[in-house]
Structure formats: C-alpha cells, structure tokens
Amino acid sequence: MSAQAGRLWVVATPIGNLEDLSPRARETLRSADVVAAEDTRHSAPLLAQAGSRARTLALHEHNEREQAARIVEHLRAGENVALISDAGTPLVSDPGFRLVRAAREAGFTVSPVPGPCAAIAALSVAGLPSDRFTFEGFLPARAAARRERLQALVAEPRTLIFYESSHRIVESLADCVAVFGAQREGVLARELTKLFETVVAAPLGEIAARVDADANQQRGEFVLIVAGAVGEAADATLAEGRRVFALLREELPPARAAKLAAAITGAPRKQLYEGGPG
C-alpha cells in the first residue's frame, strides 16, 4: 500500500447535543475529502458546524453495496473518507458494516473516531449490572415476531438493551411486561442529551403504566434497558439438572447420578440429590 493510501474513518457524531462532537471527530470531518453519510441533507448542518467542505455521498441500507465499491475507489485515489450516520456511532443499528468490510478487504486501514452511542449512554446511567450486557437493537415490528424475540431472551442473565422509536414504544413495553413480568427491573432512557431527556428506573409494569398515561412520554427516541434474569435463569438450570439426574438415576446410585448431573448442567449437586426423584 502506498504512503498516500486513503483511510476510512468511522466517526461517531452526537445523539442530540451538538456539543458532544469531539474535537477529533470535528478535525476528521474537516480534513476528510469525502464524507459518506446516511442522509446528506440531515448531516449538512453538522458538517457545516465542523467546518467540513468534503464532498458528501449518501450511504444507506438500500445502496450500501454499490456505494461501498465507489468509496473503495476514492480510497484507492488516496482520499480520506469519513463515515457518519444520522446520529451516534455508525454500524450500531445503522449502515456501514459492508463498507468497513469492503475497505479492509481492499487493504485499507479502517480507524474509529469513537464518541456518542445511545445504548452506551443509557447503560451508563441505568444503574443496572453493566459488567455483561447484550445489545438487541430494534425489536421486530410485527407483534408475533416481537414476542417471539423477547421470549427467547426470558432467561438471559445479562442486562438487555433495546432501541425503540415513538411509533412502537407503548406496544414494546406492553410485550416486555407480558414476557418478562411486571416486576422485572427496567430503565427507560428517552431523548438523551436533549431538552426533554428523561430517565425512568422502575419495575417494567410501572414504566409501562407511566408511558401509557402520558402522551408526552411516548414522544422522541428511546433506549429500553431490562435487567437480566436472576431467578428464571437459575430455575432453568435446576430444571435441566433434575432432568439429567432423573435419566442417570436409572443406571447409577443417587449420589453418583447427582454428581454427574451437576457436572453436566452446572446445577447445584445438593439440590439435585435432595429435590430430584428417587
């Protein structure tokens, strides 16, 4: 690769408050030859604020494959390209992964300019366990598919992070209550870094009731965080331990069967021995 090879910069931009554009992000946008943006009209004020005079190129879900090839040509010509999305970190529930992959496969360096991300901003103020979490992005729009997705997460012990829009927040909260139970702890983070920023930490049933009762709380952009399963997950492991114990018990003495079932499933040996059949 030549010394003048272009580089692809993946630049995080504010999720509401323009002051959150980092000095490095500003400089990267200012010095880029080309800025690939999800919606070039939406990004125009930000680019103006950053003093960027780069050519802009629209890259969205529906044209990413073709645009990625075009952008690789810009990189080959030695140009610096910055990728931004409408808000936050590109590729996080936003386009860009095909471009990143294409640029790397063509031998170009891809560098992040990290910054705002709604999921991480919400997690940082949630007050829920954050040592392990799973980002679930947007739930499916169709009710049946949405419930199925939630059902698959019911025993997930890690903290769950969802994105949601004003169109579906009421339905999604109702489904979370139905699947996870009204008592499961949650945090609803709305309009982070903006004028009407609201963070509600409460059991899911209470969050759903509050949002139902107040049309203003249904407006804007949301991150919904749901505490991971504690009891349910433990129950599922114990149930599996008992099932394996019962099978082994047909061939082995109880103490030996319990020891093996515990080793296989991770369930506590003592509870299998005492609670299991035989």
Residues whose CB falls within 8 Å of the CB of residue 136, separated by 6 or more in sequence, listed in order: 149, 153, 160, 161, 162
Instruction: Record the tokens describing residue 216, joined without a space.
Output: 């203003």
| CA distances to 30, 49, 113, 189 from 21, in Å | 12, 10, 10, 20
Contact 11, 58 (CB under 8 A): no
Residue choice 64, 79, 94, 136 for contact with ligand SAM (CB under 6 A): 94
Verify binding: residue 5, ligand SAM, rule CB under 6 A: no
Could you say which residues in the range 67-86 bind ligand SAM, by CB under 6 A?
A: 85
Contact 38, 62 (CB under 8 A): no
Residue choice 43, 52, 80, 89 for contact with ligand SAM (CB under 6 A): 89
Residue choice 75, 119, 169, 267 for contact with ligand SAM (CB under 6 A): 119
Verify binding: residue 198, ligand SAM, rule CB under 6 A: no
Instruction: Record the tokens describing residue 147, joined without a space.
Output: 């419930």
Contact 52, 84 (CB under 8 A): no
Give the nearest distance from C-beta 121 to ligand SAM in angstroms. 7
Q: Which is nearer to ligand SAM, 94 or 136 (CB)?
A: 94
Helix and strand numbers (H, E) in the chain are: 11, 10
Verify binding: residue 49, ligand SAM, rule CB under 6 A: no
Verify binding: residue 50, ligand SAM, rule CB under 6 A: no
Verify binding: residue 186, ligand SAM, rule CB under 6 A: no
| Region from 41-49, 117-125, 178-186, 208-216 binding ligand SAM, contact rule CB under 6 A | 117-125
Residue choice 8, 11, 15, 176 for contact with ligand SAM (CB under 6 A): 15
Residue choice 79, 136, 164, 175 for contact with ligand SAM (CB under 6 A): 164
3-state secondary structure of 170: helix
